[in-house]
């Protein structure tokens, strides 16, 4: 099936082992790559994470851990869900921030599909791996970032970032989850501290206080985390006198846009917080390409207020590389914009057959994985001479790919309304070839250089090198990060292997030799 270690001897790759080098949770994500809006809960000695998925399917990736720093992908809460099937979400739409909780022996997940009918989607499962029930739409809740909490009587409250004129800011209502209906009208419980866009609320209890943790300032450089408290989950909530309690805005810290947090009590009675951040690089205004990632901080308590300890946790660099020969069911890492992978990707035992298809949102089928490293290399292998392609993508208006066309290789890029192609004059040699996209150290002030190459019997040759800023959030906009994967352009293609690994960035002088 899937080998977590790329093959030794592959040009440009390092062995994918856990580095002996320890990193700080303040500077390195515990879940790298496009994994925004983290939400966390604990059951006994295990911890569970969920993330936004936006236009990609399956929806809402789920992870489990016993140590908070080593996370295993356990599946997706909205895989095959009827409310997402056939959806037409684009890169700015789809499934926004979820909340994951465990109550009365079941996991509950609630989220917003901003491209679907108004309301919030809620589903539950007896275990994190599922089976997850088909989601129920809770109507009458116009907004995003829904949260669930239960009081001592078992009454559930839904708290959310409201779009309702009747309940602006952060709103709340009691809800019957089994019936999928509100028990009262939403009402405002907080308008934030005065910064823009109060959102991402989570209500939780510690001792005599109920706390409202929320983000504000927008999910860009001004992002921040604030908190308020009350004696009841209904409020009224008293804001922390020094809000926001955590932000990296207007600093030179290598992780920026920090916000949208969730908090958890650990098995030993201490507390921790997960939050999103980005790692921008390059010249002003700096560019981030892997999307909003999940970071970990400690939490102390001072006068019954949470105090963030950003660098409490240290851990080895997480594993990110993989090699897949598609000799079994598709690994859960594979996602696609707008179309379920199973609808166009068919493992054969000797590779995967990719069919050309188009999602309802207009995106061509792409069996993709999230990029997770500052610099990396992705290679896919096929015997085809036509219709095979490897694409690195931000959205349908910002991507680059190497494709096979009538026995030759071609590098292509699209930046908004502009497109460009570079054709290889040399015909493909031999019966097997590799299509390669590599992220290398930047040479022109961007976050990296994207190198597109082809490998055949005559060796590996570079087709094009482009500034990676054009595939960044600062250029493309939106909320997602890069993905990279395989596709078929005009007819079915068999890929025998795909591999992704971090690479050590070369110096400019090394590249120019």
**Count of beta carbons in the 10 Å neighbourhood of residue 332:** 18
In the chain, the N- to C-terminal Cα span, in Å, equals 39
Cα 40 to Cα 62: distance, rounded to the nearest angstrom: 10
Cα 25 to Cα 22: distance, rounded to the nearest angstrom: 10
**Count of beta carbons in the 10 Å neighbourhood of residue 385:** 16
Query: Could you say which of 55, 145, 147, 199 is catalytic?
Result: 199
Distance of CA 187 to the CA centre of its chain: 31
Q: What are phi and psi of 27, to 5 degrees?
A: -115, -20
Residues 393/399, Cβ–Cβ less than 8 Å:
yes
What is the b/e burial string over 362-371, where b = at least 16 CB atoms within 10 angstroms of the residue's CB? ebbbbbbbbb
- Token duo for residue 376: 């990396």
Distance of CA 278 to the CA centre of its chain: 11
Cα 172 to Cα 476: distance, rounded to the nearest angstrom: 34
Cα 114 to Cα 331: distance, rounded to the nearest angstrom: 27
- Residues 6+ away with beta carbon under 8 Å from 512: none
Q: What are phi and psi of 73, to 5 degrees?
A: -70, 120
Residue whose structure tokens are 């590996």: 460
Cα 66 to Cα 119: distance, rounded to the nearest angstrom: 34
Spell out the alpha helix ranges (H) of 10-94: none
Residues 322/307, Cβ–Cβ less than 8 Å:
no
Is 424 a catalytic site residue?
A: no
Quote the DSSP letter at residue 476.
H
Is 216 a catalytic site residue?
A: no
Residues 441/512, Cβ–Cβ less than 8 Å:
no
In this structure, the chain runs to a length of 513
Query: Could you say which of 16, 37, 55, 324 is catalytic?
Result: 37
3-state SS string for 337-380: ECCCHHHCEEECCCCEEECCCECCCCCECCEEEECCCCCEEEEE
10 Å CB burial of residue 249 (0-12, 13-18, 19+) is: middle
- Residues 6+ away with beta carbon under 8 Å from 499: 6, 7, 10, 13, 321, 322, 323, 324, 378, 379, 380
- Token duo for residue 489: 């352009």
Cα 156 to Cα 477: distance, rounded to the nearest angstrom: 36
Residues 297/25, Cβ–Cβ less than 8 Å:
yes
Catalytic residue numbers, as ranges: 37, 199
């Amino acid at each position: 099936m899937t080998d977590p270690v790329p093959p030794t001897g592959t040009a440009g790759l390092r062995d994918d082992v856990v580095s002996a080098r320890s990193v700080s949770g303040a500077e390195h994500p515990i879940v790298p790559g496009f994994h925004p809006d983290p939400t966390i809960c604990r059951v006994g000695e295990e911890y569970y994470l969920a993330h936004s998925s936006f236009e990609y399917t399956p929806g809402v990736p789920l992870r489990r851990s016993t140590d908070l720093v080593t996370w295993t992908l356990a599946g997706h809460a909205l895989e095959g869900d009827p409310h997402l099937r056939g959806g037409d979400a684009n890169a700015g739409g789809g499934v926004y921030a979820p909340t994951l909780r465990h109550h009365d022996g079941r996991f509950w997940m609630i989220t917003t599909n901003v491209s679907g009918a108004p309301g919030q989607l809620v589903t539950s499962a007896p275990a994190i791996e599922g089976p997850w029930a088909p989601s129920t739409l809770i109507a009458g809740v116009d907004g995003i970032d829904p949260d669930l909490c239960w009081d001592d009587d078992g009454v559930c409250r839904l708290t959310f970032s409201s779009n309702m004129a009747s309940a602006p800011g952060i709103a709340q209502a009691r809800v019957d989850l089994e019936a999928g209906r509100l028990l009262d009208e939403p009402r405002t419980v907080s308008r934030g501290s005065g910064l823009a866009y109060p959102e991402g609320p989570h209500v939780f209890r510690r001792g005599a206080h109920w706390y409202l943790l929320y983000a504000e300032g927008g999910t860009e450089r001004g992002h921040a985390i604030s908190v308020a408290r009350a004696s009841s989950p209904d409020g009224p909530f008293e804001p922390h006198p020094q809000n926001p309690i955590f932000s990296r805005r207007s600093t030179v810290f290598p992780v920026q846009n920090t916000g949208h947090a969730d908090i958890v009590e650990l098995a030993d009675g201490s507390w921790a917080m997960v939050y999103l951040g980005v790692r921008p690089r390059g010249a002003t205004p700096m560019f981030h390409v892997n999307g909003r990632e999940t970071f970990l901080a400690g939490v102390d308590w001072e006068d019954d207020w949470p105090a963030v300890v950003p660098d409490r946790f240290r851990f080895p660099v997480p594993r990110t590389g993989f090699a897949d020969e598609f000799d079994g069911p598709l690994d859960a890492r594979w996602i696609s914009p707008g179309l379920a992978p199973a609808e166009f990707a068919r493992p054969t035992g000797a590779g995967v057959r990719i069919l050309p298809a188009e999602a309802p949102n207009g995106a061509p089928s792409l069996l993709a994985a999230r990029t997770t490293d500052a610099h990396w290399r992705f290679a896919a292998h096929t015997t085809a001479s036509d219709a095979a392609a490897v694409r690195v993508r931000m959205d349908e208006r910002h991507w680059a790919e190497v494709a096979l066309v009538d026995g030759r290789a071609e590098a292509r890029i699209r930046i908004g309304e502009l497109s460009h192609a570079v054709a290889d004059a040399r015909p493909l040699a031999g019966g097997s070839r590799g299509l390669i996209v590599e992220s290398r150290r930047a040479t022109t002030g961007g976050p990296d250089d994207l190198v597109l190459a082809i490998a055949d019997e005559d060796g590996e040759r570079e087709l094009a090198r482009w500034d990676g800023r054009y595939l960044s959030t600062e250029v493309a906009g939106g909320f997602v990060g890069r993905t990279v994967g395989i596709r078929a352009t005009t007819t079915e293609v068999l890929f025998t292997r795909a591999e992704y690994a971090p690479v050590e960035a070369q110096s400019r002088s090394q590249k120019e030799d």
